[in-house]
Amino acid sequence: MAPRGAAPILPLALALTAVAAVSWARGPSGTLWFRQGCAALGRCCPGRDPTCAARGPPRCFCDQACREVRDCCPDYARACPAVSCVVAEWSGWSRCVKPCQVSYRLRQRRVLQEPRNGGAPCPPLEERAGCVEYWSHQGVECQQSLLPALITTGSYGKEREKRGVPKKQEIIGYCVQFRLGPVPGSCQQVRAPHAQWTRYLTQGHTVCVRCEWPAQDARSRRCYGDGGGAGGHQLSLWQAAGHPRCRGTWERLGQLRDCSCPEVHSLVFL
């Protein structure tokens, strides 16, 4: 015979079991249990996606916008970590897009890892730089009439291919020193990495400009715009390749076999 008062014990036990089950499903504040959260959902969605919601209660989301709306699942940061874009190294510079005229060259890089979950976006995948080629794509020498003198940073002279140079003949280059006249403010307003050298152009400074193949004329072995035909200290014009608004005048000081200017003031004719 059951003792008096035993009958109510079973319903009370069942009630406590039900409460424990609810507590287990919800867990302590800020935690998730089995079949809840982004890890259980198995998805991390871009933008705002109403379908990217984990089971509740309470209902929570695993999309990128949940950070702003503040309805992310507690395990969002762990299950959907931010992944920034990763890109490869730059390719080599291409040939000039259009030979025999002022044009541009290209270099590119590819994406190795797309950004996810609010990671840093990809940087530019293409860059352009001004250039001139004196040979057509068929190997025919161009007729030169490029004025004013086109100049760019001296590092371009090391990069460009020396096409058309006879194997058994050395093409001798030379250096010309100029004193810069007034330099427009547009030379300072540049963002492209390949054109940063124009920031160092300052009125009154001496620059060294290298004349070398293939910028040399095949007959005279001189570069157009080097001021060799001007008498005395006559002013002539120059223009930065790839930055058309950066142009001015300079005064020829003399010709040297080798350039001796600082790197930021060492340029090359195009």
User: What distance in Å separates the CA atoms of residue 178 and residue 105, rounded to the nearest whole number?
Assistant: 27
Predicted pLDDT of residue 125 = 93
Predicted pLDDT of residue 172 = 73
- Per-residue pLDDT of 72-100, as tens digits, reads 898 898 889 888 999 999 999 888 887 77
Predicted pLDDT of residue 141 = 62
User: What distance in Å separates the CA atoms of residue 36 and residue 59, rounded to the nearest whole number?
Assistant: 9
Predicted pLDDT of residue 160 = 58
Strand-strand pairing, 174-180 and 247-256: antiparallel
Predicted pLDDT of residue 233 = 63
Cβ–Cβ under 8 Å, residues 250 and 192 = no
Cβ–Cβ under 8 Å, residues 58 and 45 = no
The tokens for 77 are 């940061």
CB pairs under 8 A, 24+ apart, for 165-174?
Answer: 165/213, 165/214, 171/212, 171/213, 171/216, 171/221, 172/221, 173/210, 173/211, 173/212, 173/213, 173/216, 174/210, 174/211, 174/255, 174/256, 174/257
Predicted pLDDT of residue 231 = 52
The tokens for 51 are 């379908």
**Virtual torsion, Cα 24, 30, 35, 41, nearest 10 deg:** 180
The amino acid at residue 231 is G
Q: Is 194 helix (H, G, I), strand (E, B) or coil?
A: helix
Q: Is 263 helix (H, G, I), strand (E, B) or coil?
A: helix
Predicted pLDDT of residue 102 = 65
**CA-based end-to-end distance of the chain:** 112
- List, for the chain, all residue ranges whose pLDDT scores fall below the cut of 70: 1-35, 101-102, 132, 134-135, 139-147, 157-171, 229-234
Let me know how many helices (H) and strands (E) the chain has, helices first: 5, 12
Predicted pLDDT of residue 215 = 77
Closest Cα partner for 151 from 107, 208, 202?
208
